[in-house]
Amino acid sequence: MFRASWATVAAFLSLALTCLFVFRVVPVAIAVVGSFYGESLTGEPVFKGLGNFLDLFADQEFRDGVVRTLVFNILVNPIQIGIAFFLAILVLNPTKAAKFFRVALFLPMCISLALASVLWSILLDPSLGLVNGLLSALGADRQLFFRSEGQALWSLILLATWKSVGYWMIFLLAGLVAIPSDIYEAASLDGATGWRAFTKITLPLMKRPLLFVLVADTTANFLFFAPVYLITGGGPNNSTNFLMFQAYRSSFVLVDHGRSLAISTIILLMIGAVAALEFRLFRADPKQG
Amino acid sequence: MHSTRRTFLKTGLAMAAAPLAFRQPAMASSPLQAAWVGWGDAQVLPVVDTAKAMAAGVDVALETIPVSQYFQSLEVRLAPRSGTPDFFLVDGPLTASYAARGHLLDLTSVIDQSRFAKPAVDQATYHGKLYTAPFGTSSQLLYYNRDLLERSGIEVPSADVEKRWTWEALVEAARKVNDPSKGVWGFSFEQADRPYQLFPLMQSLGAKTVSTDGLQVSGYIDCPESIEAYTFYQRLFQDWKISPAGLYDGPLVQELFGSGNLGFMVGGTYIMDSLTKRYPGVTWGVAPHPYFAGGNPVTPTGSWHIGLNARSNNIDAAQTLLAAVLSEKVMDVWFRVRPNPPVLNRLWDTTKAPFTSEGWKIIRYELDHTAMVRPATPGYAEYEDIFKLALRDIQGGSPVPDVLASAAKKIDAAIAKYRI
């Protein structure tokens, strides 16, 4: 049998590892180190220790941002994964119609998030939008959507969900297809069909794909930024002022890079903590092996 | 194990510090990097090409960036302090911000200040030195849709600056034009969330936008006059409902006006040109910018300047190109492709044709008598952004005194770093 030498293995891995190091490890290191620094007006780095973090925790806007980011994620992730799972089951049987819907549902993923943001901001515009045109044609009141403190968060959830459920659906579909059909056959001989088969067979066997989708979706939604930047600007009245947007504003508007990197570091820690929690919740039961 | 971890940490720190340590100077022989606002090739290339033809031997690498991303992109480009872009457009009130951070070359001895309009020179000056070259200025007019006004039985506002309408008169007329069932609105600011267009509301009632040293806004933007001015602004959207809330996109407001669905609009001079070209179906007229009864007429002004990077390795080439851009010839081309009021005094006399219209007569008066530049503070970028979001919240119905007080606090915190 051929056994690769360490040198061969290292040569093949070097490119991937270098990229991983340069594009992942280094930026994280820069962010973490930078979060302990400020900058003088002329650009000299000034060591601030935990100063940036203490300033953040003393700032009401930041604390509200933490809560809003968490609320957004608590709402958007279950909604997206629930819908994606439901759609995956709907298009599971490979009929012609199902194939059409698989493609149709995946399509929003193929346009850029910036374009989708512009599209939805026009659709939901209070004055000129198509949706409000339809509402008033039906005799209903016009809605402010992105311009309303109460509706902006939900409008963003709608946009994000429309954009991404098709993508997550594909992963869950792959998981569903991989469940051997003989398990369902055996179960049906024992009288377990429908809801019972779903809860006792499908759900336990979907743990791995669900865990992957949950962690990846949570990460994506913690970093949700473009629609906030393009449509709401964090408003109305800070209702969509998530941490990612605050990190952006700190650096590019308020010219405070240390604060921005401190927020980025906190987002990183939050994602790490939430992902660890999710791994724990979905850990396979050892008794079921 | 321990030493491995330490080595890893050291490597990480070294990598993190690397960009700070190795600031590579730009090669002197490389082309001049010029950052320009992307108004579209038709409004950029004629200006740049004419200037290049005059600046013999200067090799220019032009980079155009859409206006909505221009300031953020410039921050990213300037942050490493590497000397590029060598030559860049600067929004007038940001001069102080870039100068305070050492991004701008002192141009005091290079530019003959007497050639330019005084407010623009003032805006370009920081701590007594000229840091940017005035490139353009701006003013605002009240546009009205003649057909809509006649249909509502309203006499059109006079173009005579002595018979300038008050805001109160404008609201009364706009309420007659307003017809939500047909999607017709009474009035809108063209830039309904931009401090540039909305500072004159508080200024018309006598409020100042910032302290004399440019480092404090508390007590200014949240003073009683300011609260009164922005309560009026809020009522446009919330009480009288004559302005469309949440419409922040200038071109969409122009579209609303151009399609005959807006009675009055406060907007820039360039709209005269675009209405004629893009919306030939609408009959419109212009009048002077309104003011509050009991207050003073105030109009916004200020526009683009040009800055040279203090760390550039191409300073000679940059100065040659700058001299060409500030020439009468290039300024004339610039005016023709984008008709903003010229900042070069002589151009008012040499570019005669367009200045005979009613609109340009009003503008010339405003620039000499009512124009007020935006706040002179090194923290203008922070100020503008925070105030813009506050204006959006006011528009949406949040309590005006609270929003202004909170914005004032945030702005003061953000600009405290400029106290030296």
Beta strand B299-300 with B371-372: parallel, antiparallel or unpaired?
A: parallel
Do B190 and B264 fall within a single domain?
Answer: yes
pLDDT given for residue A40 in this prediction: 85
Closest to B249 (Cα-Cα) out of B198, B192, B197: B192
Do B54 and B166 fall within a single domain?
Answer: no
pLDDT-above-70 percentage for chain A: 97
Is B368 part of a structural domain of the chain?
no
- B49-76: buried (b, 16+ CB within 10 Å) or exposed (e) per residue? ebbbebbeebebebebbeeeebbbebbe
CATH number of the CATH domain containing A274? 1.10.3720.10
pLDDT-above-90 percentage for chain B: 69
* B133 — pLDDT class (breaks 50, 70, 90): very high
pLDDT given for residue A284 in this prediction: 58
Do B76 and B123 fall within a single domain?
Answer: yes
Is A153 part of a structural domain of the chain?
yes
pLDDT given for residue A255 in this prediction: 82
Residue range B303-330: average pLDDT?
Answer: 95
For testing contact with chain A, the best of B5, B9, B20 (most A CBs within 10 A)? B20
What does the mean pLDDT of chain B come to? 89
Interface contact A45, partner B, CB < 8 A: yes
Is A41 part of a structural domain of the chain?
no
B286-315 residue pLDDT tens:
999 999 999 999 999 988 999 999 999 999
For testing contact with chain B, the best of A123, A147, A225, A264 (most B CBs within 10 A)? A147
Do B281 and B166 fall within a single domain?
Answer: yes
Is B122 part of a structural domain of the chain?
yes
Encoding tokens for residue B281? 């179906």
Closest to B419 (Cα-Cα) out of A162, A65, A40: A40
Do B63 and B156 fall within a single domain?
Answer: no
Which residues are within 8 A (CB) of A80 and not within 5 positions of it... i.e. 6 or more apart?
A160, A161, A164, A165, A168, A217, A221
User: Residue A248's closest chain B neighbor by CA?
Assistant: B72
CATH number of the CATH domain containing B88? 3.40.190.10
pLDDT given for residue A125 in this prediction: 87
* B353 — pLDDT class (breaks 50, 70, 90): low
pLDDT given for residue A236 in this prediction: 87
Q: What separation in angstroms does the CA of B115 have from each of A203, A223, B137?
A: 77, 50, 14
Omega prior to A204 cis, within 30 of 0:
no
Do B382 and B280 fall within a single domain?
Answer: yes
Domain assignment of residue B225, given as a range: 140-300+376-418
Is A223 part of a structural domain of the chain?
yes
Residue B183: list chain A partners with CB under 8 A. Answer: 127
Do B260 and B385 fall within a single domain?
Answer: yes
- Report which residue type is found at B311: R
Do B213 and B65 fall within a single domain?
Answer: no
Do B156 and B260 fall within a single domain?
Answer: yes
Residue at token pair 């209070």: A126
Of A25, A144, A252, the CB nearest to B245: A144
* d(C-alpha B342, C-alpha B332), whole Å: 8
CB contact under 8 A, B385 and A254: yes
Number of domains comprising chain B: 2
pLDDT given for residue B13 in this prediction: 42
Residue A18: list chain B partners with CB under 8 A. Answer: none
Do B177 and B93 fall within a single domain?
Answer: no
Reported ipTM:
0.75
Residue range B60-74: average pLDDT?
Answer: 90
A209-230 residue pLDDT tens:
999 999 999 999 999 999 999 9
Do B254 and B403 fall within a single domain?
Answer: yes
Residue at token pair 């003393």: A58
Residue spans of beta strands (DSSP E) within B6-104: 32-37, 60-65, 87-91
**B304 class by beta-carbon count within 10 Å (0-12 exposed, 13-18 middle, 19+ buried):** buried
Domain assignment of residue A102, given as a range: 46-247+259-281
Q: CB of B314 within 8 A of CB of B86?
A: yes
Is B238 part of a structural domain of the chain?
yes
Number of domains comprising chain A: 1
| Residue pairs spanning A and B at CB distance below 8 A | 94
Residue B185 has pLDDT above 90, yes or no: yes
Tens digit of pLDDT at every position of chain A (289 positions): 567 788 999 999 999 999 999 999 999 999 999 999 998 888 888 999 999 999 999 999 999 999 999 999 999 999 999 999 999 999 998 788 888 999 999 999 999 999 999 999 999 988 778 998 899 889 888 888 998 889 999 999 999 999 999 999 999 999 999 999 888 888 888 887 788 888 888 999 999 999 999 999 999 999 999 999 999 989 888 899 999 999 999 988 888 889 999 999 999 999 999 999 999 988 755 554 3
Interface contact A259, partner B, CB < 8 A: no
Q: CB of A279 within 8 A of CB of A271?
A: no
Is A254 part of a structural domain of the chain?
no
Torsion of CA A33, A37, A39, A40, to 10 degrees: -140
Do B271 and B396 fall within a single domain?
Answer: yes
Is A55 part of a structural domain of the chain?
yes
Rg (alpha carbons) of chain B, rounded to whole number: 23
Is A123 part of a structural domain of the chain?
yes
Is B13 part of a structural domain of the chain?
no
**A175 class by beta-carbon count within 10 Å (0-12 exposed, 13-18 middle, 19+ buried):** buried
